[in-house]
Copies of this chain bind each other. A is one copy, B any other.
Amino acid sequence: MPSLHDKTIIIDGLIVSNFGPEIFRAMRAGGITAANCTCSIWEDFPTSMRAIAQWKTWFREHANLILQVYGIADIHRAKTEGKTGVILGWQNAVGFDDHLPFIEVAYELGLRIVQMTYNTATSVGGGCYESNDGGLTDFGRDVVDEFNRLGILVDLSHVGSKTAADVIAYSKKPVAYTHCLPAALKAHPRNKSDQQLRTIADKGGFVGVTMFPPFLR
């Protein structure tokens, strides 16, 4: 393991994978301290809860490799104990079945990062492949309020640029592009303008650079 990884707290902005012990061992070999692990994209509430329940079983069965991150202390604990801290994340807000109180339930189970939309339009706003992104909806504002209140990081990586701009302006807490590339390197609906990247950083948010080649070449 490179000594940089030994000395530094390294957080992977987003991993989506066919998770299981093999991946947990690879995450250890890679030397990351913690990662935002996707456990819902298109799924409804019951199916997203099944994914969270599956993680609870993994946390028990593979406690030598992974631990759940509820807060910052758990990231430091992961570093000290030589495990990977798993931050449960959703890449879409559809998993709440449009029922606001489900956000608090998912938060209590450890959900800490949620993307507003995934490529397409939903009840909260537009996605990055939506040809007619109308921006953040009224219900979307309620969702951001609830994320802000509880402490769930808002991810805008796959969100439409108008909706993303609305969220950046509206959110009382810093937001994130957990996995994205600069449009300055390649014009692509999934890539972000220098202005967008700068605004997030200026507001104290987080920008993660993804290594997904199709968006670069």
Question: How many of A's residues come within 8 Å of B, CB to CB?
Answer: 17
A52 on the interface (CB 8 Å rule)?
A: yes
Number of copies of this chain in the oligomer? 2
A198 within 8 A of B: no
A49 and B48 alpha carbons, distance in the complex (Å): 13
- A97 interface hit (Cβ, 8 Å): yes
Given A45-B46, A46-B45, A46-B46, residue A53 in contact with residue B105 (CB < 8 A): yes
What residue of chain B has the Cβ atom nearest to residue A108's Cβ?
Answer: B109
CB pair A105–B99 under 8 Å, yes or no, is no
Contact A49 B45 (CB under 8 A): yes
Q: How far is the CA of A109 from the CA of B97 in the complex (A)?
A: 19
Contacts of A52 in B (CB 8 A): 105
Given contacts A45-B46, A46-B45, A46-B46, contact A105 B101 (CB under 8 A): no
- Cα-based distance from A57 to B150 in the complex (angstroms): 12
In the complex, per-residue mask of A67-103: 1 if CB is within 8 Å of any chain B CB, else 0: 0000000000000000000000000000001010110
A101's closest neighbor in chain B, by CB?
Answer: B53
**In the complex, what residues of B have CB within 8 A of residue A45's CB?**
46, 49
Q: In the bound complex, what is the Cα–Cα distance between A57 and B99 (angstroms)?
A: 12
Residue A172 is within 8 A (CB to CB) of chain B in the complex = no
- B99/A50 in contact, CB under 8 A: yes
In the complex, the chain B residue whose C-beta lies closest to that of A103 is B53
Instruction: List chain B residues, Cβ under 8 A from A101.
Output: 50, 53-54, 56-57
Instruction: Kindly report which residue of chain B lies nearest to residue A59, judged by CB atoms.
Output: B104
Output the least CB separation between A62 and chain B (Å). Answer: 15
State A57–B109 Cα separation when bound (angstroms): 16
B56, A108: Cβ atoms closer than 8 Å: yes
Closest Cβ of chain B: how far from A152's Cβ, in Å? 15
- Can you name 22 A-B pairs with beta carbons within 8 Å? A45-B46, A46-B46, A46-B97, A49-B49, A49-B102, A49-B105, A50-B99, A50-B101, A50-B102, A52-B105, A53-B99, A53-B102, A53-B104, A53-B105, A54-B101, A56-B104, A56-B105, A56-B108, A57-B104, A108-B108, A108-B109, A109-B109
